[in-house]
Amino acid sequence: ETGVTQSPTHLIKTRGQQVTLRCSSQSGHNTVSWYQQALGQGPQFIFQYYREEENGRGNFPPRFSGLQFPNYSSELNVNALELDDSALYLCASSSPPGLAGFSGELFFGEGSRLTVL
């Protein structure tokens, strides 16, 4: 069973640039969510994708956008980067609610560390 993988692991951008982060979900999972974790803080929910549609969003501006592909992998795009966007970005996958064996658990990748200068 392949776990959640994210790329890149680290990247540095300058203010105003755009960034794309990628995530491959765990085998059998069709739901992907993204979280932003600032240094010393708990992760904050950005949004979730299910069957290629966004179906939940946290308190993040529209310059945070995403995609989910038919193979359930996902991208997080952030435009017009600001210094406060510096954080660890975590991707998590899960099986959909209602499926037999659904545990409620999210499975996380190791994250992408973004530094905005």
Tell me if 109 contacts another protein by CB under 8 A: yes
Q: Which of 11, 50, 60, 67 binds another protein (CB under 8 A)?
A: 50
Instruction: Give φ, ψ of 17 to 5 degrees.
Output: -75, 175
Give yes or no for a contact between 33 and 106, defined as CB atoms under 8 angstroms apart.
Answer: yes
- What's the min distance (Å) between Cβ of 104 and another protein? 4
3 versus 16: smaller Cβ distance to another protein: 3
Q: Over the Cα atoms of the chain, what is R_g?
A: 14
Which positions from 79 through 108 interact with another protein, judged by CB under 8 A? 88, 90, 92, 94, 97-98, 103-108
111 versus 116: smaller Cβ distance to another protein: 111
Tell me if 60 contacts another protein by CB under 8 A: no
**CA–CA distance, 116 with 15 (Å, rounded to integer):** 6
Looking at residue 79, what DSSP letter applies? -
Q: What are the CA-CA distances from residue 74 to residues 49, 52, 68, 82, 104 (Å)? A: 8, 9, 4, 22, 20
Tell me if 23 contacts another protein by CB under 8 A: no
Residue 13's CB is within 10 A of a number of other CB atoms, namely: 16
- What's the min distance (Å) between Cβ of 31 and another protein? 6
Judged by the rule CB under 8 A, the positions of this chain that interact with another protein are 31, 33, 35, 40-45, 48, 50, 55-56, 58, 88, 90, 92, 94, 97-98, 103-111, 113
